[in-house]
Amino acid sequence: MPSAAQHFDIGIVGSGIAGSALAAALSGSGLRVALLDRREGELDSARGDHIQPAIQSILERWGVLNSLLQAGAEHRAGTRWFDADGNHLVTIGVPKHPDCAASFLFLNHERIGDALLTHAVGGGAVSISGVSEWSLDRVRAGWRISWRGVSGEGQLTCSLLVGADGTASPVRSRLGIEIDRHRYQYPIAVLYGRLRQVPEPRTLDVHLCRERMVSMIPRTGGGTKIGFPIAAEELSTWRHQPESVLHDQLRCWCPGLEFDQLAFGAIYPPVSQQAKPYQGEGAAVLIGDARHAMHPARSMGMNTCFRVADRLAGLLGELRRGFKEAEVLPILRAFETQFSEEVTRRLAENHAAGLQMDTIHGDGFPALVAQLRAAAGNPAISDAMALNAAGVSK
């Protein structure tokens, strides 16, 4: 636990995936890093948990990939698409490419977060959890964060402030950073279950039902996470109906699927947003959902966090321990240029996928079905889809 006003090079508010990823990427840099978070327990298990093939080399370079495998990460062969009658349309596999691992990896979200944070702390980062309230002030050294929580209270100063504190981001609000936001019409319902016949090899299966898009997302140990949009008037149905009713509805939507277990998980209102770069006094930057929240479609959010954290850590690694605020400002300007180049296209692609999923009156998604049938008959189209899904930069 840091003593009052102990100085760190980098103070990260938020130790979820984005904050812990940046701290993990900075392990071995020699920079002093502190993370603060309101959370005491595990991360939300319903969030993204699939790692693209092109991202795994980044995690290996950080020294985290082996920890994820030891924690039980499993392999996914690709994505299968089905029409409203349960007919298989196409399988988009993993491309053979020098920048790709041989498969996707999947691991429960909270275990990914644990591995990142453990690696960061093992590399010297200080983690302060259970923070119930905190304040932010400008000081000559940069920023002062005063906090109070379950373990007491304290202060720290830092030369660079990083906001990685989620879509609502108090850091963003306190710094007055503007944001462009799109709220989708329909919330996403998440169920947890276990298919009676678990496919081998494991795949992510997307069913283009007559009403809506239903995703069957593999979980470790043979489990499945089921995600789909719902109308507001359906909320009580999914939260409170018995398991048999949940089974019946999924059978209706996805012919041929049977579950041994099925239970309600959570409801999430998806949002797409992108914050502006910080223009005020001092050195500050936003990452993760605080900067670029994404729709859960196509599992892009967490993987984009890893890319952004890697870019920022690579630039910050040029600094020496004890750097001054003035030294990091040109690095942040370079990062903003790279961020725009790296993320803008991915945000646009994700938003398009989110809009495509944001319906409960899909009428069988005829345009998407036609696109997938074309991919099934044209290797050039399916290969391009596979590269994009794998996270290979164009």
Report how far apart the first and last C-alpha atoms of the chain are (Å, whole number): 44
Based on the fold, state whether residues 154 and 203 are members of the same structural domain.
Answer: no
| 353 and 368 co-located in one domain | no
Q: Are residues 226 and 264 in the same domain?
A: yes
User: What sign does the CA torsion over 216, 221, 222, 223 have?
Assistant: negative
Q: Answer yes or no: do 179 and 231 share one domain.
A: no
Residues 372 and 314 in one domain: no
| Domain assignment present for 214 | yes
Same domain assignment for residues 246 and 384: yes
Does residue 86 sit within a domain?
no
Per-residue pLDDT of the chain (394 residues; tens, 9 = 90+): 444 579 999 999 999 999 999 999 999 999 999 999 997 666 555 567 899 999 999 999 999 999 999 999 999 999 999 999 999 999 999 999 999 999 999 999 899 999 999 999 999 999 999 999 999 999 988 999 999 998 889 999 999 999 999 999 999 999 999 999 999 999 999 999 999 999 899 999 999 999 999 999 999 999 999 999 999 888 888 888 899 999 999 999 998 899 999 999 999 999 999 999 999 999 999 999 999 999 987 678 899 999 999 999 999 999 999 999 999 999 999 999 988 888 888 899 999 999 999 999 999 999 999 999 999 999 999 999 999 999 997 6
Confidence (pLDDT) at 150: 85
The residue with tokens 């590399």 is 123
Among 30, 71, 78, 29, smallest CA distance to 50 is for 78
| Residues 40 and 119 reside in one and the same domain | yes
Question: Where would I find the H helices in 5-108?
Answer: 17-25, 56-62, 65-70
Task: Please check whether residues 56 and 122 belong to one and the same domain.
Answer: yes
C-alpha closest to that of 89 among 366, 344, 326: 366
Strand partners, 94: none
CATH classification of the domain holding 280: 3.50.50.60
Contact status, residue 142 vs residue 160, Cβ threshold 8 Å:
yes
Question: Which tokens sit at 196?
Answer: 């009676």
- Backbone CA torsion sign across 36, 38, 44, 47: negative
Burial 293-302 (b: 16+ CB within 10 A, else e): bbbbbbbbbb
Strand 6-13 to strand 33-36: parallel, antiparallel, or no bridges (unpaired)? Answer: parallel
Q: How many domains does the chain have?
A: 2
Host domain of residue 236: 188-269+364-390
CATH code of the domain containing 213: 3.30.9
Whether residue 226 is found in the same domain as residue 346:
no
Q: Does one domain contain both 212 and 156?
A: no
Cα 261 to Cα 194: distance, rounded to the nearest angstrom? 5
- The single-letter DSSP state of residue 172 is H
